[in-house]
Structure 1
Amino acid sequence: MNTFEHFKIKKQLGNAIADLGFTTPTPIQEESFSTIMGGFDFVGIAQTGTGKTIAYLLPILQDLAFSEQANPRVVILAPTRELVIQIVEQIEKLTPYISVRTLGVYGGTNNIKGQKIAVAEGIDIIVGTPRRLYDLVISNVLRLKSVKKLVIDEVDIMLDFGYKTQLKNIFEHLPTKRQNILFSATMTTYVDELIDTFLINPVKKTISLSGTPLENISQVKYAVPNFYTKVNLLNHLLADKEEYNKVLIFVGTKINADRLFETLDFDSDMSVIHSSKEQNHRTNSIEKFETGTSRILIATDVIARGIDIDKISHVISFDAPFYAENYMHRIGRTGRAEQLGKAILLYTEKEEPLKDEIETLMKYTIPAMEWPEEVAINGQLTPEEKEKPEIQEEINHKKSEIDRGASFQEKSAKNSKEKKERKSYERIIKERYKKPIRRGDKIQNMKKKKRK
């Protein structure tokens, strides 16, 4: 069995790995280290929780020499603020004995001035979401002429979020001669297109297919008639605090996330995050869940891809995900680092086709659980259940809102008039650089799928 010593990494980096208690590299870490060190373009496909972040950070940090130059030599792009923060934290854990200047940049805050100051002071590695990083580039504060390595993490989600235009714009400012490193949990046609367009004879390594169920995660499913009966079942299950000691609950929409948070019986034990929550709220919610202040975290798929928290006892899919691959991302949040985990899928009759797609993808039939006699069936329906349900978070934005342009939020007549008289900086930038107003290509596929 190989150890990190076989990588022959420098002593300072080896000491940091020892401090973290890591001894044996994961398969994706073994496959990627020598290839990335050799300077080849690399594409790594591996499931969530298999150590992808360390897989690209180790060879990058091993190859990164001390420098006082102002411009960054490494750019790491991630789809969410949460993932940016966690990548920066991982770099800091690996570099206590190495002088590396790292900065994380992302939107959703009023701190772009502070980020500009930090960039101007000089950095070695910049980690950011595409939109904020590109805003820094076009403001002439961030210059990418010295970049030697470009990493795109969770590239499949990056493209689903509609970041294709931003990526192309960023590529135009990067040196042609550079190393490209892509990591993803799934391989889609959009990822293939990006690889064919921008990478040169990349080395591709697929460690495990996204449809392969993780062996150390036990799965069960419950057939449930509606939202409020799902709530009754969760109240029954989660009452066992010893068994359900750290629970991540996935919901399909922001509306359902807030509704579930308001109706479950565990107020002081819960946190909730989704894309409409302020960044401070999202950060605090994750910190509370990570430290154990709250044992239940309710989240949507859009946000949860950036969550990397140890010792999650259960992942509960309150709503079946619209895309079967997302179920694998969900359950991959438990059973990490070879620990045992448990996953529970709740599905209604309308969600049964989605459940079937999940089982087809995994080539595995999730064991069905008998309904607990003490759990009452609630006949109350949500407004969405009375009508055609919207299963995925991204389609919460109604067509009329999308057609308006850059903003997806409802505006009063007064505010609308003010916007016409004076456009925001964000709106001007979007119009000038043709940033996409839609949330991703998958939304279009979703609409096509519904019309069939």
Structure 2
Amino acid sequence: MSSFEDFNLKKQLNYAIEDLRFEKPTPIQEQAFSVVMSGKDIVGIAQTGTGKTMAYMLPLLQELTFSKQIHPRILVMVPTRELVLQVVENIESFAKYINVRVLGVYGGTNINTQKQLCAQGTDILVATPGRLYDLALSKAVKLKEIKKLVIDEVDVMLDLGFRFQLINIFELLPNKRQNIMFSATMTSDVEALIDDFFIAPEKVSIAVSGTPLENISQECYAVPNFYTKVNLLTRLLKDKDTYKKALVFVSNKRSADVVFEAVEEFFGGESCVIHSNKTQNYRMRSIRQFDEGKNRILVTTDVMARGLDLDKITHVINFDTPNYPENYMHRIGRTGRAEHKGNSILFYTEKEEPFKEAIEDLMNYEIPALTIPSNVEISEELRPEERPRILEADNPDQTTLASQGSFHEKKEKNKKVNQGGSYQRIIAKKYKKPKTKGDKNYNKRNNKK
């Protein structure tokens, strides 16, 4: 298939595609279109950044007719708040010339406001599982009119602990519906979910997770410690012509703040940071400024690794090597999108080397290694977790110390042992056994002896 014309879309959708300047469908869009249109259950396995949202949304919009009903007919579930906002924005751009109502609901905001929006009616509801379940329990949203269920990034939902909400939401949905599921990885949990709730789904697989995208160049640096990583990062980012838009992944929130402060010191207003401790408004502002090019550098945790379609990222820098090799694939999928060339750089310490090897095993590809530039300072400063444990020769650890007793002899009064009170001692001495209720006969027998 060479163009969208082969889909025989209604003209309003073709106008929107022209406005978006999409020339031809991606492989997942090409293969999923006819299956979704057929009404069959479908499971799509596709690497992040391959146009999954459009793959399921075009056929759904093609079939959607005008209606004034209050309750939604299409439900799209995604794992994060940022993804809700992005999917809503995407749907609105596809449905630009169609009279369709789209609503996004997610946690972290006032639920009463969202109840009022639901009461006004919607055709397509995009939601995170937690907030959707709360709205369904309060009867602000009724799911009995749902004809099409889309679950995007289902493996992330299960990783985030949404299994309980997903199963309960399935129970609230009508039995007669089309199930559409997209995931980047096919785990045993995902397969179990499909077996329980899908009816003979057709599987469409485009790229197995672990297959390196051909348009992403990968490189790595062996780095001795955290602060040398910081020095190398700032050195690389000084080349503004090369690193026009860099996304820097860090393993945790605390490290992300440290890296951001170091980058901010060198590049001032060119950088921003997001992680789960930041407020929703702060996160959305950072994403928007980075996407619009106002900020050249975005430091983040893996909260950003899935689904977010940010425009023309030139480099993904893995400041820390992820523990799970699949996460590396999701990270680097932020660059090289829509057939643009992308670049990925991985920093790893000696401790992280096994993680790097696991990534290479998954991809069946050895990441080319580069030497740290000579003008990058090798830091001797170590973070607490990097410092070796120093054990004193005469005091190896507290366990040994405790087993050797105290430093001095206890005073006589401190040698006393708690015997449970005078009453218990007297009874025990008299009856040879503490007297309890029901022991009268026993006690009489023993007193006669």
Q: Tell me which interval the TM-score lies in, with the shorter structure as reference length.
A: 0.7 to 0.9
Q: What's the counterpart of residue 53 of structure 2?
A: 53
Task: Quote the offset at 1:310 in angstroms.
Answer: 1.5
**Retained in 2: the 8 A contact 1:44–1:204?**
yes
Alpha-carbon distance in 2 for matches of 1:387, 1:132: 45
Alpha-carbon distance in 1 for matches of 2:381, 2:96: 55
Amino acid at match of 2:127: G
Amino acid at match of 2:172: H
Q: What's the counterpart of residue 273 of structure 2?
A: 272
For residue 89 of structure 2, give the secondary structure of its aligned residue in structure 1.
Answer: helix
Higher Cα Rg: structure 1 or 2?
2
**Retained in 2: the 8 A contact 1:252–1:321?**
yes
Alpha-carbon distance in 2 for matches of 1:345, 1:187: 25
Q: What's the counterpart of residue 122 of structure 1?
A: 121
Q: What's the counterpart of residue 419 of structure 1?
A: none
Which range is displaced more, 146-155 or 299-308?
Answer: 299-308
**Retained in 2: the 8 A contact 1:80–1:306?**
no
Alpha-carbon distance in 1 for matches of 2:376, 2:304: 31
User: 1:8-48 deviations in whole A, cap 9, x for unaligned?
Assistant: 11111111011111121111001111101100000000001
Q: What's the counterpart of residue 351 of structure 1?
A: 352
Q: What's the counterpart of residue 81 of structure 2?
A: 81
Q: What's the counterpart of residue 425 of structure 2?
A: none
**Retained in 2: the 8 A contact 1:80–1:303?**
no
For residue 31 of structure 1, give the secondary structure of its aligned residue in structure 2.
Answer: helix
Q: What's the counterpart of residue 108 of structure 2?
A: 108
Q: What's the counterpart of residue 307 of structure 1?
A: 308
Amino acid at match of 1:330: R
Taking the TM superposition and a 5 Å limit, the aligned residue runs for 1:12-411 are: 12-109=12-109, 111-264=110-263, 265-386=266-387
**Retained in 1: the 8 A contact 2:222–2:349?**
yes
Alpha-carbon distance in 2 for matches of 1:31, 1:202: 14
Alpha-carbon distance in 2 for matches of 1:306, 1:271: 19
Alpha-carbon distance in 1 for matches of 2:145, 2:277: 36
User: 1:315-334 deviations in whole A, cap 9, x for unaligned?
Assistant: 00000011101111111111
Alpha-carbon distance in 2 for matches of 1:120, 1:192: 35
**Retained in 1: the 8 A contact 2:215–2:341?**
yes
Amino acid at match of 2:350: E
Amino acid at match of 1:300: T
Alpha-carbon distance in 2 for matches of 1:208, 1:11: 31
For residue 15 of structure 2, give the secondary structure of its aligned residue in structure 1.
Answer: helix
Residue segments in structure 1 that go unaligned for 5+ positions in a row:
389-452
Alpha-carbon distance in 1 for matches of 2:8, 2:260: 49
For residue 297 of structure 1, give the secondary structure of its aligned residue in structure 2.
Answer: strand
Amino acid at match of 2:74: V
Task: Quote the offset at 1:379 in angstroms.
Answer: 1.1
**Retained in 2: the 8 A contact 1:75–1:127?**
yes
Task: Quote the offset at 1:149 in angstroms.
Answer: 0.5
Amino acid at match of 1:75: L
Alpha-carbon distance in 2 for matches of 1:266, 1:166: 43
Q: What's the counterpart of residue 434 of structure 1?
A: none
Task: Quote the offset at 1:113 in angstroms.
Answer: 1.5
For residue 266 of structure 1, give the secondary structure of its aligned residue in structure 2.
Answer: helix
Counting aligned pairs with the same residue, the percent is 62
| Superposition TM-score, scaled by structure 1 size | 0.84
**Retained in 1: the 8 A contact 2:217–2:342?**
yes
Alpha-carbon distance in 2 for matches of 1:365, 1:267: 36
Amino acid at match of 1:227: F
Amino acid at match of 2:291: E
Task: Quote the offset at 1:217 in angstroms.
Answer: 0.8
Q: What's the counterpart of residue 406 of structure 1?
A: none
Amino acid at match of 2:151: I
Alpha-carbon distance in 2 for matches of 1:50, 1:181: 16
Amino acid at match of 1:361: L
Q: What's the counterpart of residue 429 of structure 2?
A: none
Task: Quote the offset at 1:387 in angstroms.
Answer: 7.4
Distance 1:48 1:306, change over 3 A: closer
**Retained in 1: the 8 A contact 2:153–2:307?**
no
Task: Quote the offset at 1:302 in angstroms.
Answer: 2.6
For residue 370 of structure 2, give the secondary structure of its aligned residue in structure 1.
Answer: coil
Amino acid at match of 1:33: F
Alpha-carbon distance in 2 for matches of 1:120, 1:387: 60
| Superposition TM-score, scaled by structure 2 size | 0.85
User: 1:192-217 deviations in whole A, cap 9, x for unaligned?
Assistant: 11111110000001101111111111
For residue 145 of structure 1, give the secondary structure of its aligned residue in structure 2.
Answer: coil
- Kindly report the root-mean-square deviation, in angstroms, between the aligned alpha carbons of the 2 structures: 1.1
**Retained in 2: the 8 A contact 1:10–1:62?**
yes
**Retained in 2: the 8 A contact 1:275–1:303?**
no
Distance 1:306 1:212, change over 3 A: closer
User: 1:391-448 deviations in whole A, cap 9, x for unaligned?
Assistant: xxxxxxxxxxxxxxxxxxxxxxxxxxxxxxxxxxxxxxxxxxxxxxxxxxxxxxxxxx
User: 1:282-318 deviations in whole A, cap 9, x for unaligned?
Assistant: 0000001011111000111133314211210000000
Amino acid at match of 2:49: G
For residue 289 of structure 2, give the secondary structure of its aligned residue in structure 1.
Answer: helix
Alpha-carbon distance in 1 for matches of 2:3, 2:24: 5
Query: In the comparison of the two structures, how many residue pairs are matched?
Result: 387
For residue 190 of structure 1, give the secondary structure of its aligned residue in structure 2.
Answer: helix
Alpha-carbon distance in 1 for matches of 2:307, 2:260: 21
Task: Quote the offset at 1:267 in angstroms.
Answer: 2.9
Q: What's the counterpart of residue 11 of structure 1?
A: 11
